[in-house]
Amino acid sequence: MAGQDKKVIEKNSHGEYVLTAYGEFLSYFHTHIQLFGTLISAKKIPAKEQEALKAKLRSYISSNVQKTDHFFDQLPQFAQFLGMGSQELSSYMNRNFLGALNKIKTKLIEQESVAEQTPRKKKYSKISEEILEGLGFTFPAGHRFESEEGMIYLVEISTGKKREAAALGEVARETAAAGAAARPIPVPVRKGPETPILEEILKKYGELFSGKPLIMKVEELEEDDSPVQMGEDILSDVEDLHFDGDFGGDSPSFSEPPVSIPFSKYMDQVGKVRVFQKAGQLEEYKRWVASLPVEENALVQLQTSLLKESRGEVVEWDGTLGQLGTRTGLSESRLRKVLELGRDFFRIRNQLEASWNKARTASPAVAELVKKAWPHILRVMDEYPDFTQIKGKMDQLLSRIPDASQRKILTDLFLNPVLSIRRN
């Protein structure tokens, strides 16, 4: 975008307003800011921290995004800023981006077309140019002001002819017309430094003027028409689009995105918890849990309660989630999503571990095969809750086993039981 004009819209061959390349870029910018802002506003953090995070994201985009394609390249970094997984953010953007983008484009064209039809203020290099154009004349040569009995007169120096100062415009126009009709008469060079007319007026008649001095700020006199320069400030001064209410109607719903934690990572964390428990390393365990991303932290802490629930014990979930919310800062609605995922993972984990124990007793060959396939099986489960993907990847994994009988054993042990967990 470097060096391009800041023109946002232009007319096509049909006379309709369409976005320029810069306008397209701005529409992507505003769409990302809008969607990211919605995610940030849903976070249970103070308003000041929300605004700081929004400003940080905006600044990062300004510094690192050069064209529309770069937004997609930066998705992992955006996810890190937002405290969520790249896959989770990608899913959210896929659901909401196009609908939001269309709304943004419509609003952008609407606002810019109104601005296009509003006459732009002419730009002057000097304030004196604006004054002279507004007056329509210059002070006539060979004249001066004189005061007599409280009146100000315009005096023609060569003839002494006087006119009231109100006739200044008339005299100037007559002088200009006379100059155009006749050959210009050489004017004797005035000796000595010439006193500016405004200084001369104030010096002689300053006591006749009253009122407060008029002070103009630079930004009131000048209008920025400089070309776009890429860098940290390219979008820092781009104002957000102002919508009346939300996107409304059939626009995308900015609902809270689902919790996205890979199953293989969950299993890795379950293994670490067991190691800490076996070694009795309570303090080390606490430090490790505190270092986890907040939703993974909550999922780990829910395991004890989920284990009690699986044994048929009563768990007072409202109180449990309330205490966990205080420790993690997550909202109750978000914690319930973590709990829902935790229940599903708990069931899948129990099924896989039961299948693992059966495989160990099937035969040494099958046990060895399962040991080698175990990490791959866990990664297949990362596709949860997409059971179609789980089945496809599991079939692909098991197809690598040349022995048909062994392939059937693993299918019965790991694929069919997991597919039976599918919720209606």
pLDDT digits (tens, 9 = 90+) for 227-270: 333 333 333 334 455 444 443 333 333 445 778 899 999 999 99
Q: Is 153 helix (H, G, I), strand (E, B) or coil?
A: strand
Query: What is the reported pLDDT for 299?
Result: 93
pLDDT per position as a tens digit, 339-358: 989 998 998 888 888 888 88
* In a domain? residue 199: no
Structural domain range at position 317: 263-421
To the nearest whole percent, how much of the chain has pLDDT over 90?
A: 7
Is residue 132 domain-shared with residue 90, that is, in the same domain?
A: no
Could you tell me the pTM of the whole model?
0.42
Higher pLDDT pick, 136 / 277 = 277
* In a domain? residue 294: yes
* In a domain? residue 197: no
pLDDT per position as a tens digit, 116-132: 766 556 665 666 666 65
Is residue 158 domain-shared with residue 63, that is, in the same domain?
A: no
Model confidence at 218, pLDDT cuts 50, 70, 90, reads very low
Is residue 281 domain-shared with residue 391, that is, in the same domain?
A: yes
Average pLDDT, the chain: 75
* In a domain? residue 174: no
* In a domain? residue 398: yes
Q: Give 37's contacts (C-beta < 8 A, 6+ positions apart).
A: 54
Q: Is 380 helix (H, G, I), strand (E, B) or coil?
A: helix
> Among the listed ranges 56-60, 188-192, 280-284, which one has the minimum average pLDDT value?
188-192
Is residue 61 domain-shared with residue 157, that is, in the same domain?
A: no
Query: What is the reported pLDDT for 268?
Result: 92
Query: What is the reported pLDDT for 265?
Result: 92
d(CA 144, CA 150): 16
> Can you tell me the mean pLDDT for 68-78?
83
Higher pLDDT pick, 306 / 387 = 306
Position 225 pLDDT exceeds 60: no
Query: Nearest Cα to 75, choosing from 35, 131, 106?
Result: 35
pLDDT per position as a tens digit, 268-297: 999 999 999 899 888 899 899 889 888 999
Indicate the burial class of 367 (C-beta count within 10 angstroms; 0-12, 13-18, 19 or more). middle
Position 405 pLDDT exceeds 80: yes
Query: What is the reported pLDDT for 421?
Result: 66
